[in-house]
Amino acid sequence: MISVRNLSKHYDETIAVNDITFEVKQGEILGFLGPNGAGKTTTMKILTCFMPPTAGSVTVDGMDVMDHSLAVRRKIGYLPEQNPLYHDMIVLDYLRFVAELRGIPADQQNARIKRMVEVTGLKAVLGKPIGELSKGYRQRVGLAQAMVHNPEILILDEPTSGLDPNQIVEIRHLIQELGKEKTVILSTHILSEVQATCNRAIIINQGKVVADGSLHDLQAAFHGQEKITLEVKAPKNGCLEKLRALPGAQQVRELTSSNDLRRFQIEVEKGHDLREGVFDLSVREGWKLLELTRQSTSLEDVFRQLTKG
């Protein structure tokens, strides 16, 4: 559906996007992850035909964004970063304006707008000027605007920024609903957002793609970083050594210890499950095991590993 090849974008001296390549299939919800300034917004601006790439190409349904700009733009709904809106316009007037520009036939405009108002829950504020709305409502206006023409592709630049936790859950739910029939690319630097909504993630850092795959694959690829945290009631001496002696334990750290309560963190070698061993050891030594948790590599760990430094 969308194919990005060797895309680069330079602003004067700085290189915002450096030779990235990826494909997006129909019906995918792609999370575009990266630290601030990684090139997410720049890539989206090129996808939406706002500006041309310095090198490389982007095609949507086989049409180049430069050569068939108008045709590509018709397929896309776009929520830019910062969600720019005309603050002096009434919500309904604004949606009608966008519907007209999007080329929705006059007899279908009202039905489409009505549908969007239902989906985004804008009914209560339809007659208000956008400038008077809360940030959450403005974001919904932005989303309604992006979807009013029922586009095949939705490009959302940080769709939940500035929303309160309830609104975030709502918007994510909305995006998931939409993702059933549409292709969605959303950018964010909030990892839980990707985990909650996307079925695939691309991590970019300093203008380069550093990871691309389903969430499961990404986590699996960086496996081996599994950790076990345990808390035991045990005498002071010998704990550390005995834990280190367990097969599969790579590194054991004592996190806290107070009186006879101790917390340890064990990094586990790939392919081992240490929990049973820890339990047996505790039984043998007469320790009282109070807590035992396994943490597999989170997306957060993957992200930090790929984008730090």
Partner 1 sequence: MRNILSIYKKELRSYFNSAVAYIVITVFLLIAGWFFSSQFFLMGQATVRTVFAIIPWIFIVFVPAITMRTIAEEKKTGTIELLVTMPTRDLDIVLGKFLAALTLLGIAIAFTLAYALTAGMLGNLDTGATFAGYVGLILLGAAFLAIGLFASSMTENQIVALIIGVVIIFALFILDWVTIFLPGPLASIFEFLSLNYHFNSIARGVIDSRDVIYYLSMTGFALALSVRALESRKW
Are 207 and 46 a contacting pair, CB within 8 Å? no
Nearer to partner 1, 45 or 112 (CB): 45
Least separation, in Å, of the C-beta of 88 and partner 1? 6
Least separation, in Å, of the C-beta of 267 and partner 1? 46
Rule CB under 8 A: choose which of 5, 50, 55, 248 binds partner 1.
50
Rule CB under 8 A: choose which of 12, 14, 103, 166 binds partner 1.
103
Least separation, in Å, of the C-beta of 199 and partner 1? 26
Can you tell me the distance from the alpha carbon of 190 to that of 187, in angstroms, rounded to the nearest whole number?
Answer: 9
Least separation, in Å, of the C-beta of 36 and partner 1? 17
SS (H, E, C) 10-71: EECCEEEEEEEEEEECCCCEEEEECCCCCCHHHHHHHHCCCCCCCEEEEEECCEECCCCHHH
- Using the rule CB under 8 A, is 80 a contact of partner 1? yes
- Whether the CA torsion 303, 51, 53, 181 is positive or negative: it is positive
- Using the rule CB under 8 A, is 135 a contact of partner 1? no
- Using the rule CB under 8 A, is 67 a contact of partner 1? no
Residue 124, Cβ density class (10 Å: 0-12 exposed, 13-18 middle, ≥19 buried): exposed
For residue 278, what is the enclosing H or E element? helix 275-285
- Using the rule CB under 8 A, is 87 a contact of partner 1? yes
Strand pairing of 261-268 and 227-233? antiparallel
> Which of the stretches 85-93, 186-194, 236-244, 245-253 binds partner 1 when contact is defined by CB under 8 A?
85-93
3-state secondary structure of 234: coil
- Using the rule CB under 8 A, is 68 a contact of partner 1? no
Rule CB under 8 A: choose which of 12, 13, 14, 70 binds partner 1.
70
- Using the rule CB under 8 A, is 86 a contact of partner 1? yes
3-state secondary structure of 160: coil
Binding residues (CB under 8 A) for partner 1: these are: 45, 48-52, 70, 73-74, 76, 78, 80, 82, 84-89, 93, 97-98, 100-103, 145
